[in-house]
Amino acid sequence: MVSLLKERVTVPVVSMLSAALFLTAANSKLPDVSYTTALEYIFYIFFFLCLFCIVVALIEERLRLAGFKAASRRIDTASHILFPAILFATIVGFAASYASRY
C-alpha cells in the first residue's frame, strides 16, 4: 500500500493558509463589529474540517505503520462518513438559522 501522507497533510494545510488570507481580506472590507459574523463561522468550520483531515491522516498512518491495518481502515471509513455528515449538518444548520433572512 502506497502512503499518501504527504499529500493528505499538504492539501489541507495549503487550503487553511489560503482560507486564512481570504478571511483576512474579507474582514478588512467589513465594518468592525464586536460579534462573530456568519462568514467567520463558516471559515471556522472549514478550518476545523481541514484540521480534522490532517489529524485523521496522521492517526491512520501511525496505525498503518504500527501494523494495525484493520484499525487504520476503520478510521478511514469513519472519517469518510463523518466528514460529509459534518458538512451536511453545517449546511442544514445555516439554512435553518438564516432562512428567515432570505
Average pLDDT, the chain: 90
Average pLDDT over residues 74-78: 95
Q: Is 12 exposed, middle or buried (0-12, 13-18, 19+ CB in 10 A)?
A: buried
54, 9 contact by CB (below 8 A)? yes
Query: What are the residue ranges spanned by the domains of the chain?
Result: 5-27+36-101
**In residues, how long is the chain?**
102
**pTM for this structure?**
0.84
Average pLDDT over residues 44-65: 95
Task: With a cut of 80, say whether residue 29 has pLDDT above it.
Answer: yes
Q: Note the pLDDT of residue 4.
A: 82
52, 85 contact by CB (below 8 A)? no
Task: With a cut of 70, say whether residue 1 has pLDDT above it.
Answer: no
